[in-house]
A = this chain, B = another copy of it.
Amino acid sequence: GDGRMGMIYDGNDVQFASRARVLFTLTGESDAGLSFGAKFRVDQENYKADPYRSAARGSAGQIWISGTYGKLSMGDVVSASEAAIGDLYEVGYTDGAVAFDSEEISYLTADGNNLGQGPAVLYEYGINGFTFYASATDGSDRSWGSVTFGDNTEDEDALSNKVAYSLAAKYEVDNYNVGLGFGKHGDAKEIVLGAEGKFDQFSVKGVYAHYKDRSAVDAFAAITGKNPITNAAGANVTGDYNFKSTIGLSGAYQADALLVKAFWRQDKFTTDVVGLSNEKYNSYGIGADYDLGGGATLAGGIIDTDYLQDTVADLGIKFKF
């Protein structure tokens, strides 16, 4: 399990913020040497409260089988793009959650999207430093008994009835890796490129994501209303924009128990609506972790993002049990 305790500054108030979570890890091996397992946290089992956050319904956690021919996972898996590239470095004892996870790249498929189609699959296969990834939903939002859950839109042409898939590859050599991912859901597409390198005590990671026909609303989904795109009259016009691209850069420096991390990220939004101009949203974060040993880490971070009206910060202790 894991946990954390500390204080956050939400831009107006200093607040206490803590949590404790238990992770279940189940594993086994078949007679022929296939390994299999499942993984979910106790807070990911909300059977009656939310069919989209329940390991017993396949909408949270993962279950997998793995052998010579690769690893196949099902459930709330990440997309191929995300598996190959991932996010920027997290800062603070809340791992960026105090700023609504500004360090997280907004992948087009999986990653909280497409839940209305029930479980998704992710396949991974590694050879000679390359890892190949493929992920997909099943293209059906139909609920069926106690077996699978969905949005049940009547419209067969709805996005929730279209397969969302992603293909990606990653190449690792020594302390360097580079990843390339492609994703598609209906007309919307993504191409994501990422690279990371470690030089002595320094690490650096960069990500560039380019989107086509993707609504800007996606980028604000988790933080709607905090700092939306507005027109001259102050009205929320986020829906008139396309989410065009994200560029992100993060770096870290390790000195014994101390780890200093920073990230910058810029999201571009374009519009064809007369009277509105294209927009750039920037997010900056910096933080430091101090490893206390035994699974405890003292950590603090400051994040300034255009998605929020105020700069936020946190300071506390993270635990791994």
Chain A interface (Cβ < 8 Å from any Cβ of B): 1, 3-5, 7-8, 10, 12-22, 24, 26-32, 34, 36-50, 53-58, 61-65, 72, 74-75, 94, 97-100, 118-121, 137-140, 142, 144-148, 222-223, 292-296, 314, 317, 319-321
Question: CA of A27 to CA of B138 in the docked complex: distance in angstroms?
Answer: 41
Question: CA of A147 to CA of B318 in the docked complex: distance in angstroms?
Answer: 13
Q: Among A20, A42, A144, A293, which residue has the most Cβ atoms of chain B within 10 A?
A: A20
In addition to A16-B121, A47-B49, 12 A-B residue pairs with Cβ atoms within 8 Å of each other are: A5-B64, A5-B119, A12-B142, A14-B140, A16-B119, A19-B56, A20-B24, A20-B61, A29-B294, A32-B293, A38-B321, A100-B145
Question: CA of A17 to CA of B24 in the docked complex: distance in angstroms?
Answer: 20
Q: Can you report 13 residue pairs joining A to B where beta carbons are below 8 Å apart?
A: A5-B64, A5-B74, A16-B118, A16-B120, A16-B138, A19-B57, A19-B63, A20-B62, A28-B294, A42-B55, A43-B47, A94-B147, A145-B222
Q: CB-nearest residue of chain B relative to A47?
A: B43
Q: CB-nearest residue of chain B relative to A22?
A: B24
Distance in Å from the Cβ of A107 to the closest Cβ of chain B?
A: 18
Question: CA of A235 to CA of B57 in the docked complex: distance in angstroms?
Answer: 33
Across-interface contacts of A57 in B (CB, < 8 A): 19
Q: CB-nearest residue of chain B relative to A320?
A: B28
B54 touches A15 (CB 8 A): no
Across-interface contacts of A56 in B (CB, < 8 A): 19-21, 41-43
B294 touches A31 (CB 8 A): yes
B38 touches A1 (CB 8 A): yes
Across-interface contacts of A37 in B (CB, < 8 A): 321
Across-interface contacts of A75 in B (CB, < 8 A): 5, 18, 20
Distance in Å from the Cβ of A13 to the closest Cβ of chain B?
A: 4
A55 touches B43 (CB 8 A): yes
A10 touches B74 (CB 8 A): no
